[in-house]
A = this chain, B = another copy of it.
């Protein structure tokens, strides 16, 4: 097979891929912008393209047999540009990484290790057993998971080990069980928003979820509650979130997925047109939550498995179109 990894994101999945997929394949990496005619030719000759963006700016594809996102989100892939019947597959394997990010961010709100370390180095025993500096336990709180797919389930199992109560709001019904204490569907989103001390958004970005968490939903939150976004930025209304934080109407936000990203022309943009960086009740990280060596490996295994299946005319896994 001719396997093309298209773009900078996909390039992350090349190292070590040859050993996983086995012999007999041509593997090439191409840049996001296909300027050279040799790059265009290689792109159009591919049997398999691994990438996260397929739009009308790219050369037309006629020979492709499989388009594989090395990611869960396929919002920048237009399947109508593929020959009829071409499968589009995606990958998970980021859920454990994201769950570690979420638990770290939440625990840091309770256990002030960095500040305690800075102080004790100066001989300041500030946090040493005094009622005034006692903390509360994360485990005493409730976590609310907006979206209960791979990510939500991975967070729930860790939250439960800490003794947390878990509420869920999902498009399809989720029965209460060992990981879920209370469950809502989307028609009860505002009740869900009021149900927890930390709301974790892991929804994908599709037309129906744009601005899904708006001013009214944020207003329904507990006044001390946190909101975390590890799904996609635009699922939370940008202005409503900023205003609620600036007015201290919620406890704070931990935002990993944003409204503006680096581009070829600007490598260091602010992640929003609004001044989140001037707020003291937000933690801002650069869409890093899912990026671990283990995530890369798990996704490489999925892509390699599908290429083996394609070569053997077996049914593919993780097909989304």
Mark A residues whose CB is within 8 Å of B.
9, 12, 15, 96-97, 99-101, 103-105, 107-108, 110-111, 113-114, 116-117, 119-131, 133-140, 157-158, 160-163, 261-262, 267-271, 277, 283-288, 291-294, 296
Contact = CB atoms under 8 A, between A and B. Distances in A.
Contacts of A121: 277, 284
A270 B125 CA distance: 9
Given A134-B291, A137-B96, A288-B127, A114 B111 contact: no
B162 A283 contact: no
Contacts of A101: 111, 113
Contact of A120 (B108, B119, B157, B271): B271
Contacts of A269: 123
A99 B161 CA distance: 11
A127 B286 contact: yes
Contact of A294 (B97, B122, B136, B283): B136
Copies in the complex: 2
Given A100-B137, A135-B293, A161-B161, A113 B285 contact: yes
Contact of A117 (B15, B122, B283, B292): B283
B294 A124 contact: no
Contacts of A9: 129
Find the residue from A9, A125, A131, A268 having the highest chain B CB count within 10 A.
Answer: A125
B100 A162 contact: yes
Contacts of A161: 157-158, 160-162
Contact of A288 (B114, B128, B294): B128
A158 B159 CA distance: 9
B293 A134 contact: yes
Contacts of A163: 96
B292 A134 contact: yes
Contact of A286 (B111, B128, B160, B285): B128
A129 B287 contact: yes
A100 B140 CA distance: 11
Contacts of A12: 129-131, 134
Contacts of A277: 120-122
A177 to B, nearest CB: 16
A252 to B, nearest CB: 12
Nearest to A278: B121
B128 A262 contact: yes
24 contacts: A103-B107, A104-B104, A104-B113, A107-B107, A108-B113, A116-B285, A117-B284, A120-B271, A120-B277, A125-B262, A125-B286, A126-B286, A127-B286, A127-B291, A128-B286, A129-B288, A136-B292, A136-B293, A137-B292, A137-B293, A137-B294, A140-B294, A158-B161, A160-B161
